[in-house]
Amino acid sequence: MDDAKQLEAFEAKIASGAKIEPKDWMPEAYRKQLIRMMSQHAHSEIVGMLPEGNWITRAPNLRRKAILLAKVQDEAGHGLYLYSATETLGVDRTELLSQLHTGKAKYSSIFNYPTLTWADIGAIGWLVDGAAIMNQTALARGSYGPYCRAMVRICKEESFHNRQGYEIMMHLAQGTPEQKALAQDALNRWWWPSIMMLGPSDDQSPNSDQLMRWKVKMESNDAIRQRFIDRTVPQADFIGLTIPDKDMKFDEKTGHYSHGPINWDEFFEIIKGNGPCNAKRLKARVDADKKGAWVREAATAYAAKQAKEKQVA
């Protein structure tokens, strides 16, 4: 079959709602775009372990410590799962990690903000995971089989993370005045970054018809952002916290909340590498990789010896 016919068959398959599997024919642009998206997602999971891991040793009680450990373990598991899914497209994890370490590949801008207090752990679960779910439930309906299946599983776990984050915020908001202040402060610092993490507004990030048609991208950034805001503002009201946006109001006509102007300069600066923790996060990953090199070499050497012994025997 020539390329034009293969492309036609490929698009027809996607239009019919069937999934594309690793061994199916796919256009190179589709493969490249998926590798970019999926590896960026995998990198976000493992870089995201750092700001949360920052509070494991200081969690305020044993229950919270156990929950946070379990949550961060989930994130590491998502990373592993997503790297494996990306490998089905013919690129290996070592190569993907080297792209992260050299700055060639990106990860979510949100993890370049610092976790300054315990309340930030609540804010991340509630807002960051909450925003991520909005995006990921859409992606679960995409066209690439391994990625969709990963998303289904990941979304289930993320919804637990989201609830535990909100539960932390609820306890803080109903706690002592100092605790409530911690919660409000965390919301103030994480709100704007959370709504920005869903990506530039549609006028700055026109959706390629092709990516939508190929079901690589499912919804526009602004549409996902709107759903996140509509869901989250009443949750803040319910626990007595204030969204730090004086223009935020419910529009009876549209049935949606409308928000004030977003400071996109900050977002683009962070994407360029100029955020409070960009250097720190990347350094932590590069250091872990370097310090782990001799461990991985030892494991490889041992496995080779074992294989040789088996052959002799």
Please report, as a single letter, which amino acid is at residue 173.
A
Please report, as a single letter, which amino acid is at residue 44.
S
Residue 311 in contact with another protein, rule: CB under 8 A: no
Only one of the segments 165-173, 226-234, 253-261, 270-278 lies at the binding site for another protein (rule: CB under 8 A); that segment is: 165-173
Q: Report how far residue 275's alpha carbon sits from residue 298's, in angstroms, rounded to the nearest whole number.
A: 36
| Contact between 168 and 125 (Cβ < 8 Å) | yes
Only one of the segments 55-63, 156-164, 214-222, 229-237 lies at the binding site for another protein (rule: CB under 8 A); that segment is: 55-63
Q: Does residue 250 sit in helix, strand or coil?
A: strand
Only one of the segments 21-29, 30-38, 140-148, 283-291 lies at the binding site for another protein (rule: CB under 8 A); that segment is: 283-291
Residue 241 in contact with another protein, rule: CB under 8 A: no
| Contact between 275 and 265 (Cβ < 8 Å) | no
Chain-centroid distance, C-alpha 71 = 14
Per-residue contact string for residues 168-207; x = within reach of another protein by CB under 8 A: x--xx--xx-xx----------------------------
| Contact between 52 and 121 (Cβ < 8 Å) | yes
- Structure tokens belonging to residue 285: 């990953």
Alpha-carbon radius of gyration of the chain:
21
Q: Which of 5, 63, 246, 253 binds another protein (CB under 8 A)?
A: 63
Residue with Cβ nearer another protein (246 or 291) = 291
Q: Could you list the residues that contact another protein (CB under 8 A)? A: 46, 49-50, 53, 56-66, 69-70, 72-73, 76-77, 79-80, 83, 118, 168, 171-172, 175-176, 178-179, 284, 287-288, 291-299, 301-303, 305
